[in-house]
Amino acid sequence: MATFVEGPVRVTVPATSANLGPGFDALGLALGTRDELVAEVTSGGIEVDVRGQGAADVPRDESHLVVRAMRMGFRAMGSEPPGFSLVCKNVIPHTRGMGSSSAAIVGGLVLARAMVAGGQLLLDDDAIFRLAAGLEGHPDNVAPAMYGGFTIAGHDGERWFSVKVPVDPRVTTVAFVPTEPVATKVARGLLPATVPHAEAAANAGRAALLVAALTSRPEWLLTATEDKLHQDYREPAMPDSLVLVRELRAAGVPAVVSGAGPTVLALTDVSSVPALLERCPQGWTARHLPVDSHGARVE
């Protein structure tokens, strides 16, 4: 029978940006802002308190995504607490392409593991990543949420995989977040079933170049972030985002749609941050978000 940790357990998990232009469903980057989850085993039932982003919209029962992830984690360890309380302190914007759902899933799994005595022996980081990718349906956000930094992830038909690679310390980001959300399902629904071979080949080259640019050759980021597979197709759902991407790129700034959008992410250096923040469209918010080398962690 499992032994549970006494008292509250606190986990933080970073925001993430996936795709990064050409790396569709494969490349992801952890960003320097974190959701915080606090849970404690109780004598029965569940109690969910949500504060911050999404507080007015998310459920407070077993259907809450963090709760679902925690249940999955407990089952994987062969343990189930009699009950627990959960407090979610959300700072990652919801439905903005910054990995809020992946943060909830990874955070919930790491939280469940931390609540079980010896949980690290029952469920290692790679096992959590695989569970998270299966629940999310794609690994591009859950990989950096779990491992931090810059990750290359995918699925080979039998297993999920992820490789973490270093990021050049000169690289940082600015996120431009609009007020209106775009659901990932809507954004994916705009993608065609097939694309021209030439465009697929161009994206493959850009994605490979992007790995080199982010790790050691940031002077190639503008070329490396050019996308042919998804951003233009999604323009009807986020026209203002594509306008901003094109304006920034025309000015020499490597800018992409973050994940499924509508947030726009600029990859830049620290000296350029103040000028970029001033380019924030009216009504949007702009934040300097350094690359976070750490994934989900127990605090």
Binding-site members for ATP are 93-103
Phi, psi of 225 (to 5 degrees): -95, 5
Question: For residue 38, which amino acid is it?
Answer: V
Phi, psi of 48 (to 5 degrees): -120, 125
Instruction: Give SS3 for 172.
Output: strand
Please give the biggest Cα pair distance in the chain: 61
What whole-number distance in Å separates Cα of residue 273 and Cα of residue 253? 11
Task: List CB contacts of 196: < 8 A, sequence separation 6 or more.
Answer: none
8-state DSSP, 4: B
Q: Where are the alpha helices (DSSP H) in 98-228?
A: 100-115, 119-122, 125-136, 142-147, 184-189, 197-215, 221-224
What whole-number distance in Å separates Cα of residue 281 and Cα of residue 225? 21
Measured between its terminal Cα atoms, the distance across the chain in Å is 26
Residue 91 near residue 177, CB atoms below 8 Å? no
8-state DSSP, 70: H
What whole-number distance in Å separates Cα of residue 268 and Cα of residue 264? 13
Task: List CB contacts of 143: < 8 A, sequence separation 6 or more.
Answer: 28, 129, 133, 151, 152, 153, 162, 164
**Which token pair is 33?**
């802002």
Annotated binding site: 93-103
